[in-house]
Structure 1
């Protein structure tokens, strides 16, 4: 199939995600050009779109010096093709001639971009000559300025830059195993890497449902950082445990697999369906409760509570980089009130001495550390510090207070080396005890 078709499809995806405000999966479903592709062409189109979206801030920074007007004044389809072309040249290292010629030809077949063919040709040819323009862009330019400043403040400049570099790569796929004793066996069957905490890291994400063990529920997809929270409750066999905000169910399945008498609470009907499907596939026993966890209460006090609270999700932006350019920093202010209300609800449902795991997939202190400190100041809670032995492979993530903040280790470069688990989503996790 002609190479221009995959470039056109990739540009439609970038346009849909960046200009029309939809996520990449939705853009793929909506793009006829993408749906018409098959096999390797479809895979290449997705790879180009993903690379363009992951590096969009740096690409735009470099392109800005190659055009005679602000990028915002360029027709969106033309800008989408420029981004896709630049991603081929600077990120994917596609042969210069193929990248330029096929992208220019794609413009001729796209009504909204036809008049921009000359601009695309001139700019992409310059991009092939000035590869250093992209490298000169600050690595943190992959984010809007407000987000870069926020992540630097939360993580420190070095860890923030490492996180920015990781955004240029497709995120890894990690699995949690239903029976931890079988983790090594499943790692070998799936040709994955066994991580220190027992998670399995796969080299590719395609066709997960066709892999051994999926249908029978022997494992489920769960980032290694997310998998650290539930085991911090210790031995939960036979204990009454409430998992608040439980969907899609990774932590709930960990708890159920460890023998907890589990109530899995989820407010969203759509997300509850995902949890129900996962519970059915694994065959793990749990009570599914669709309710607002801030007002729901169990029939009797429970032994432990896990909260994976709604949050700004700044720790998982590498999985959906297209969304960060649509975020309004003012929206982030709405989360702490909900998070504190959930902790207060947990205090109502726990026995004295019962344990709470509080987790959020963001490094923002106002959603993690500050929520925990406020809970401790209330007198209802005391902190139970996490030890390195309880989080194998994550000694780098222990904070001075004894919480976990799973930011990437600063010394990690762009290629996986000796400690792949340090390349994870960013979670804040704290353990508290009811006084």
Structure 2
């Protein structure tokens, strides 16, 4: 597609809008997509817009370091985001003429900042001349201090540098197969944990086996909690905070009678669509996890959390958030864990997990639960045969996954999970 094409211009204009929302309004990209930010774009332009937004957010620190040399003062946010987008494109091999002209055109048509088009032209031409050489010398972008500080305290500076490298590299595509499905036709790498990893997947829905429902997209780390729970055919299983449903589908494919609960009707609709595509079934409830009743052989609680383990796929998170919600989330997780434990029948089991890098949302929750419930024990034998490193098992008996693990394979999401057994 030519950089002068109207659709290419619209994709860039939408990218700048998304950056404004994340960096100015504190909204996550997922919220913007759910609100219809990409609806007017053609499929190929939606993909381009998402790719550009993710690239800019991953590279924000580098872009700003290059731009600060050419700016006497910071322009209004929309113009700054146009400069950031232009800088990232130019430093990633974009054609100078097309990129500069596109950004100038977009800014010139802005109702309040059109007069800054000359500045945009001048700055981006300087970036085109010197930016690519400078880009390669800049450090990998750092996490903001509100998150970096507690992570360094928990895991050490070297580990956090490894996490930041994983975040900057982005995430490959991990796939979970239905039992018996042959995914070798997809190529890629079969990971030790059983997921198949594709480094350059392209359009997901065009891959072999997608329409047939042979598999679904699920990060390798996110596939482990259901494997740990090891449901058996006919068991009654409750999946709390279930959408978009990867774990529900894993357990349904293993023959369990799964009840899936999620508070979001929109996300639950995605789960319904995923079940239909894969030919699997589960009982779906749109509702509050804290209001569920009954007794189940097994419960899987993927509790609401800071999602700090998913930054390599969601680089908007550290820019849209500031850590102020941590306290409320930690309290909610404790409430959910206690309520979910009441739903486990005697002799049953539960997996508690969060896609967080913060021990307060993982290790600490299980430590406190083990002290609170005399009939609860952590099962360390569940890790046998999972394909994980024994060094990842934590002191209280959970499993800690981090983005700096498997660096040579393309990394993994940050996750914490523990299998808790109830006395008979």
Give TM-score scaled by structure 1 length.
Answer: 0.84
Change (3 A) 1:55 1:130: closer
Match of 2:350 among 352, 356, 359: 356
Counterpart in 2 of 1:319?
A: 313
Is contact 1:385-1:401 (8 Å) kept?
no
Paired residue secondary structure (1:341): helix
Counterpart in 1 of 2:223?
A: 227
Paired residue secondary structure (1:264): strand
Counterpart in 1 of 2:53?
A: 49
Change (3 A) 1:20 1:233: closer
Residues 1:366 and 2:360 aligned together: yes
Give TM-score scaled by structure 2 length.
Answer: 0.86
Match of 2:23 among 18, 22, 32: 18
Q: Distance in 2 between matches of 1:16 and 1:290?
A: 28
Is contact 1:78-1:112 (8 Å) kept?
no
Moved more, 324-333 or 369-378: 324-333
* Deviation at residue 156 of structure 1 after TM alignment: 2.6
* Deviation at residue 46 of structure 1 after TM alignment: 4.4
CA deviation vs aligned residue, 1:166-222 (integer Å, no higher than 9, x gap): 33334222111111x43xx21x22233322222122334543234332233221111
Change (3 A) 1:291 1:17: closer
Counterpart in 2 of 1:376?
A: 370
- List alignment gaps of at least 5 residues for structure 2: none
Is contact 1:315-1:426 (8 Å) kept?
yes
Change (3 A) 1:396 1:139: farther
Matches within 5 A, 1:219-258: 219-258=215-254
Residues 1:169 and 2:169 aligned together: yes
* Deviation at residue 105 of structure 1 after TM alignment: 4.6
- List alignment gaps of at least 5 residues for structure 1: none
Counterpart in 2 of 1:404?
A: 399
Counterpart in 2 of 1:424?
A: 412
Q: Distance in 2 between matches of 1:433 and 1:328?
A: 35
Paired residue secondary structure (1:294): helix
Is contact 1:240-1:261 (8 Å) kept?
yes
Residues 1:218 and 2:214 aligned together: yes
Counterpart in 1 of 2:288?
A: 292
* Deviation at residue 51 of structure 1 after TM alignment: 1.2
Q: Distance in 1 between matches of 2:253 and 2:299?
A: 16
* Deviation at residue 103 of structure 1 after TM alignment: 3.3
* Deviation at residue 161 of structure 1 after TM alignment: 1.8
Q: Distance in 2 between matches of 1:315 and 1:231?
A: 19
The CA RMSD over aligned residues, in Å, is: 3.0
Moved more, 121-130 or 367-376: 121-130
